[in-house]
A and B are shown apart, each in its own frame.
Chain A
Amino acid sequence: MLELAIGIILGCCALGAGCAMIAGIGPGIGEGNAVAKACEAIGRQPECKGSVTSTMIMGCAIAETTGIYALVVAILLIFVAPNTLVGVLKAALGL
């Protein structure tokens, strides 16, 4: 029975990590839009290339935040959560 419980914990952690990374879609679309607009702006006014590029990198890094949150959650679910949850289960069973 304990094996089954541990298996469910491990499987759900992996599933949860995969689901968390769906959040990668948002920053991908957002950064793509930002870069597309920056390319347009540089094409229209090539003399502003420096400031457009630095502003774009700044905006991209901020738009990346939600994706990074998802990544942190996924990493915690894969590398930290299984040990903790199995420990909690064993403590609850008095092992």
Chain B
Amino acid sequence: MNDQQRKWRAKDGLYLAMIIVPIVIAILIQILTAPASEGISITGARIFFEIPMPLMPLLITEAQVNSWLIMITIVGVCLFLTNGIHENRGDWRQMASEWIVEKVDGLVTENMDPVFHDSYAPFVAAVLALSAFSSLMSLFGVYPPTSDLNVVGGWAILVFILITKNKLKAGLWYYTKGYLEPIPVMLPMNIISEIATPVSMAFRHFGNVLSGSVISALVAWALAGASSALLGWLPGFLGEIPILRVGLPAILSAYFDVFSGCIQAFIFSMLTMLYISGAYPGDELEARKAKLAQKAAMAK
């Protein structure tokens, strides 16, 4: 057992580096490229460079680079936790990975149709991890990718494609007929409500994370003003230190970054599961199967 553990040590170091190095790179990029500014500035993701493309230039923004780094970190976490898994060995890493897999499997079995139980747990876990890690990146002072509408919009479009794919399971005719129910006049309303699903998913996640960062920035700015008004009479550089900014914004950060970010990640994956499961025409397929069985029985 000890021999086995020793064999994996070099690999473990590599995986640990894979977890930590992307976060450090993101912080370094933030330190090196963020313009020093006084007061508050609420801007979108900064554009690093543009790649010329036929229709319009492809912009490589902060949000994209950060989400790539987060993906590397998540892959590192997965490899680190699952490296050297053995059915008889139970160290903490194996326990942690088993706990994660069990929890996600439980969520999927609880909330989805039985057809999806085998195939959708990895997707839901990926959405959950990506969303939670992205929101938690703001703890390091890095631009969280989820406060860019393009990133969450991309995830919502992915979910929308999956919803449509599952709606098409009962055939194109049944899918088209769904738009004309209960009466054909409702067609525009049905199309709007179909499009509203990804839009509301994206805006909910984006708005929550964005509102957290805006309120944190406003509070930090106001505290700097308050401390210069209260302690500005102190001689020399002592009066210029914004002492009230130390610690107080952290209380807000605990709510907006940690609690709100994790809740939004949970809600996004929960809605993903519910919408995909709700799109599956299970009753119709069951009814067709029953009809076929009846026909076969009649033929006998």
Contact = CB atoms under 8 A, between A and B. Distances in A.
Interface of A: 57-58, 61-62, 64-65, 68-69, 71-72, 75, 79
Contact of B207 (A57, A58, A62, A72): A72
B207 A68 contact: yes
Contact of B204 (A57, A58, A68, A75): A68
Contacts of B211: 68, 71-72, 75
B210 A75 contact: yes
Chain B interface size band reads 10 to 19
Interface string B193-215: 00000001001101110110010
Given A69-B203, A79-B42, A61 B267 contact: yes
18 contacts: A58-B266, A61-B204, A62-B204, A65-B200, A65-B203, A65-B204, A68-B203, A68-B204, A68-B207, A69-B203, A69-B207, A71-B207, A71-B211, A72-B203, A72-B210, A72-B211, A75-B42, A79-B42
Contacts of B204: 61-62, 64-65, 68
Contacts, number: 36
Chain B interface helix/strand/loop/mixed: helix
Contacts of A69: 203, 207
Contacts of A64: 204, 208
Contact of B267 (A62, A75, A79): A62
Contacts of B73: none
